[in-house]
Amino acid sequence: MSAAVPDLGNPDLYRSDARFAMWRDYAVADELVWSEPGSSPHGFWSVFSHEACRGVLAPSAPFTSEYGMMIGFDAETPDHAGGRMLVVTDGEHHTHLRRLITPFLSRTNATTLDRFIDTEVRKCLAEALAAGRVDVAMTVGPRLPAAVVCEILGVPPEDRERLVELTNHAFGGSDGTFDKMSPSEAHSEILMYFYELVERRRSAPGDDLVSTLVSDGGLSVRDVLFNCDNVLIGGNETTRHSITGCFHALSTVPDALDRLRADPTRIRTVVEEVIRWTSPAMHVLRVATEKVEVCGRTLPAGSPVAAWLPAANRDERVFQEPQRFLMDRQPNKHLGFGNGPHHCLGAALARAGLTALLRALVEQVRSVTVTGPPEWLRSNLTQGYLHLPVELEPM
């Protein structure tokens, strides 16, 4: 264990590129790092290597998500959504919730949503091309996932602007860029909105996710709200940054779009590399259910352990030249969508969004140039962009 380790939950650590060197050193040494109480009331452990992160999240690992899956929660300060919201529920109830929600986010549904996604991507790109120079972190990035999530949940089109605005405030970082309300106020408003939507769907059900959750006899209104929130957060908070990061990644490779035009079958491989290189889910936390060995050290039951996914995804023992965005990287066993029973349920949708974006870029854009340094979100949970100014050269 390193001496004088900073509180790794401090969001300021993740506003600069220095984080990559920090993560690389920890991953290469397969470190298990303790952060003293601060961002988390009782402190927490961290793992960084690909092997350790995969191990902590593995199906057989003696860890639970039910106390919460992010820094700040632990056995003594549990998340009140534990056991009710999919991502912080284990066991049979997790299986039940996953079964209810899967059809709306699965590959099959991603295919039926393809047309919708394609239309939205083209709309966003047309606006960006008309403007020439855009901050993709404020425009294309948030718009596409918000539209898709609203579609899945059954949010009527007239309410979508409001939901996108609220989502930006709730999850756009705590640096004051979105300053009409605090993140917690915005989050409460979102839940109030879903409360109204649940009431509407109760009397007039549709074929959307909210209606399905409402008509499941086993879920209280509170449980329905928690799970709408899970999909809303899961779908918006991460995907917006992989979309923004896709522009960033392409700008690092000369002739990236020409190369894809020459061989569009490479898009599938590029999508995986975008997920690895951007790794928007920064950490996921688990709490040990029994005594467990992690990185050669025995931790007692009740120990909270954060797995830093971008560190694992740039572990040089698994990925050659991990800092580079390599369009042909194969194999690419990234942990961007997590691992084990909570593996991202929206992975197919996220991939579909990036695929549609890359296809549209190949058709319409000659080159992508980043015109200013990326500004990173002040967050320990989401590795993302506050601003990314780009110039798009049309075909």
Using CB under 6 A, list all residues that contact ligand HEM: 57, 65, 69, 86-87, 98, 105, 149, 230-231, 234-235, 238-239, 242, 275, 280-281, 284, 336-338, 342, 344-346, 349-350
Question: Which residue's CB is nearer to ligand HEM, number 98 or number 333?
Answer: 98
> Residue 95 CB, nearest distance to ligand HEM (Å)?
9
> Residue 3 CB, nearest distance to ligand HEM (Å)?
30
> Residue 393 CB, nearest distance to ligand HEM (Å)?
26
> Residue 377 CB, nearest distance to ligand HEM (Å)?
14
Token pair 């109204």 is at which residue? Answer: 196
Q: Which two tokens stand for residue 200?
A: 């509407």
User: 304 exposed, middle or buried (CB, 10 Å; 0-12, 13-18, 19+)?
Assistant: buried
> Residue 344 CB, nearest distance to ligand HEM (Å)?
3
> Residue 282 CB, nearest distance to ligand HEM (Å)?
9
> Residue 284 CB, nearest distance to ligand HEM (Å)?
4
**For ligand HEM, which residue has the nearest CB?**
346
Question: Which residue's CB is nearer to ligand HEM, number 267 or number 275?
Answer: 275
52-74 burial, b for 16+ CB within 10 Å, e for fewer? bbbbbbeeebebbbbbbbbbbbb
Q: Could you tell me the strand order of the sheet in which 32-35 lies?
A: 32-35, 44-47, 304-308, 283-288, 63-64
Question: Which residue's CB is nearer to ligand HEM, number 6 or number 141?
Answer: 141
Question: Which residue's CB is nearer to ligand HEM, number 216 or number 391?
Answer: 216
Question: Which residue's CB is nearer to ligand HEM, number 338 or number 389?
Answer: 338
CB of 325 closer than 8 Å to CB of 249: yes
> Residue 374 CB, nearest distance to ligand HEM (Å)?
17
Question: Which residue's CB is nearer to ligand HEM, number 69 or number 170?
Answer: 69
Three-state secondary structure of the chain: CCCCCCCCCCHHHHCCCHHHHHHHHHHHCCCEEEECCCCCCCCEEEECCHHHHHHHHCCCCCEECCCCCCCCCCCCCCCCCCCCCHHHCCHHHHHHHHHHHHHHHCHHHHHHHHHHHHHHHHHHHHHHHHHCEEECCCCHHHHHHHHHHHHHHCCCHHHHHHHHHHHHHHHCCCCCCCCCCCHHHHHHHHHHHHHHHHHHHHHCCCCCHHHHHHHCCCCCHHHHHHHHHHHHHHHHHCHHHHHHHHHHHHHCCCCHHHHHHHCHHHHHHHHHHHHHHHCCECEEEEEECCCEEECCEEECCCCEEEEEHHHHCCCCCCCCCCCCCCCCCCCCCCCCCCCHHHCCCCHHHHHHHHHHHHHHHHHHEEEEEECCCCEECCCCCECCEEECEEEEEEC
Question: Which residue's CB is nearer to ligand HEM, number 284 or number 386?
Answer: 284
Question: Which residue's CB is nearer to ligand HEM, number 94 or number 378?
Answer: 94
> Residue 338 CB, nearest distance to ligand HEM (Å)?
3
> Residue 382 CB, nearest distance to ligand HEM (Å)?
9
Question: Which residue's CB is nearer to ligand HEM, number 137 or number 281?
Answer: 281
Question: Which residue's CB is nearer to ligand HEM, number 59 or number 217?
Answer: 59
> Residue 59 CB, nearest distance to ligand HEM (Å)?
11
CA dihedral 323, 329, 333, 336 (to 10 degrees): 50
Question: Which residue's CB is nearer to ligand HEM, number 107 or number 133?
Answer: 107
